[in-house]
Amino acid sequence: MNTVKTVLELRAAVARARSEGKRIGFVPTMGNLHSGHAALVTKAAQRADFVVASIFVNPLQFGANEDLDKYPRTLAADQEKLLEAGCNLLFAPSVEEMYPGGMSGQTRVSVPQLSEGLCGASRPGHFEGVATVVSKLFNMVQPDLAVFGQKDFQQLAVIRQLVHDLNMPIQIIGEPTVRANDGLALSSRNGFLSEEQRAKAPTLYRSLKQIADAIEQGERDYPKLLAEQNRQIESAGFRGDYLEIRHALTLRPATPEDRDLVILVAAFLGTTRLIDNLHLNLDSPA
Ligand code: PAF
């Protein structure tokens, strides 16, 4: 696996693979990779002949008081994991390579509606930063397909919409969330948790499952279900950000008649913000 740092080198390597008739798969990341990322690369390697991954901690998607500076940078360990998972080429650009003219004058891509609410409400500008960097990366790599984790459910919806709206010929694949044995969704931010916080963290997934079980059993009083689980989450020591039941495709608030649902949660343990979700399609067999 080669690592390249410039767009020029990236384009040359991808052009070589394409001239050999290879289908290009792409996995954008911010590094500090875990088995969830490895699963994305493995999926890309199953569906494509040449897998490109990127590692770029994108300043444009972090708010002023967020964890940009302390976001872990672990390039050497990440390179090993990518190689093992079947990655062929790593693109690890600098901020200057990605934003040579600085960020204030950078053209932005915004996906209205889907970017509003949920994480978009608590992290203003976040999805504009994601949509902008992903559009740039897509234009640099020009992959046939790209794989994203379903853990970032709203992000995946935003990216599907931008690819559709901007007529990008890229197949977007959503890969199921990888979880620890106790149910906690794997995330680079789990590394910020103390031992005590780590022990409490699986509460989020338990609450999502309890809501899903109740809905499957016919409960449709969503405000009651959410209030009960908000209490559980807060009594485990979290500061809740949101807990919501939405329509899985449009992300608008779910009605009792909707069949394709997603339950989404974001909550803080200390200063660490964790997110998770559970997709529940009442028309699909369990
Ligand atoms: O999910 C992530 O790691 C990031 O938001 C992404 C898609 C790599 C864009 O910076």
Q: Whose CA is nearest to atom 9 of ligand 1?
A: 130
Looking at residue 249, its pLDDT comes to: 96
CA of 281 to the centre of ligand 1 (A): 26
Closest ligand 1 atom to Cα of 130: 9
Q: Whose CA is nearest to atom 3 of ligand 1?
A: 29
CA of 255 to the centre of ligand 1 (A): 30
Which residues approach ligand 1 with their CB closer than 6 A? 28-30, 58, 61, 130, 133-134, 152, 155
Q: Are residues 194 and 235 in the same domain?
A: yes
274's enclosing H/E stretch is strand 272-281
Looking at residue 112, its pLDDT comes to: 97
Looking at residue 286, its pLDDT comes to: 63
Q: In 3D, which of 183, 194, 192 has the Cα closest to residue 276?
A: 183
Q: Are residues 194 and 125 in the same domain?
A: no
Mean per-residue pLDDT, 189-217:
98
**Residue 212 belongs to a domain:** yes
User: Given 175, 200, 217, which residue is the final one in a domain?
Assistant: 175
34 is in an annotated binding site: yes
Whichever domain contains 15, its CATH number is 3.40.50.620
Mean per-residue pLDDT, 24-50:
98
Average pLDDT, rounded, for the chain: 97
Among 140, 152, 277, the mutation site with the greatest number of ligand 1 atoms within 8 A of its Cβ is: 152
Mean per-residue pLDDT, 217-245:
98
Task: Express each pLDDT in 101-112 by its tens digit.
Answer: 999 999 999 999
Q: Are residues 206 and 99 in the same domain?
A: no
Q: In 3D, which of 23, 78, 35 has the Cα closest to residue 175?
A: 35
Residues 157/184, Cβ–Cβ less than 8 Å: no
Looking at residue 283, its pLDDT comes to: 96
d(CA 11, CA 139): 10
Strand 260-269 to strand 272-281: parallel, antiparallel, or no bridges (unpaired)? antiparallel
Q: Are residues 51 and 14 in the same domain?
A: yes
Mean per-residue pLDDT, 140-160:
98
Task: Express each pLDDT in 234-286 by its tens digit.
Answer: 999 999 999 999 999 999 999 999 999 999 999 999 999 999 999 999 998 76
Tell me which residue range forms the domain holding 161.
2-175
> Which DSSP letter does residue 138 get?
H
Please report, rounded to a whole number, the percentage of residues in the chain having pLDDT higher than 90. Answer: 98
Three-state SS string over 173-194 comes to: EEECCCECCCCCECCHHHHHCC
- Which two tokens mark 278? 């559970």
- Whether residue 37 lies in the annotated active site: yes
Q: In 3D, which of 72, 68, 23, 15 has the Cα closest to residue 44?
A: 23
Strand partners, 241: none
Length of the chain counted residue by residue: 286
Mean per-residue pLDDT, 69-82:
96
The number of folded domains in the chain is 2
pLDDT band at 12 (very low <50, low <70, confident <90, very high): very high
Helix-, strand-, coil-residue percentages of the chain, each rounded to 5 = 40, 20, 40
Number of helices (H), then strands (E), in the chain = 10, 9
Whichever domain contains 199, its CATH number is 3.30.1300.10
> Which DSSP letter does residue 256 get?
T
pLDDT band at 37 (very low <50, low <70, confident <90, very high): very high
Looking at residue 173, its pLDDT comes to: 98
**Residue 180 belongs to a domain:** no
- Select which of 37, 126, 247, 279 is catalytic: 37
**Residue 286 belongs to a domain:** no
Q: Are residues 96 and 232 in the same domain?
A: no
Among 130, 170, 187, the mutation site with the greatest number of ligand 1 atoms within 8 A of its Cβ is: 130
d(CA 208, CA 233): 10
Sign (positive/negative) of CA torsion 10, 12, 16, 21?
positive
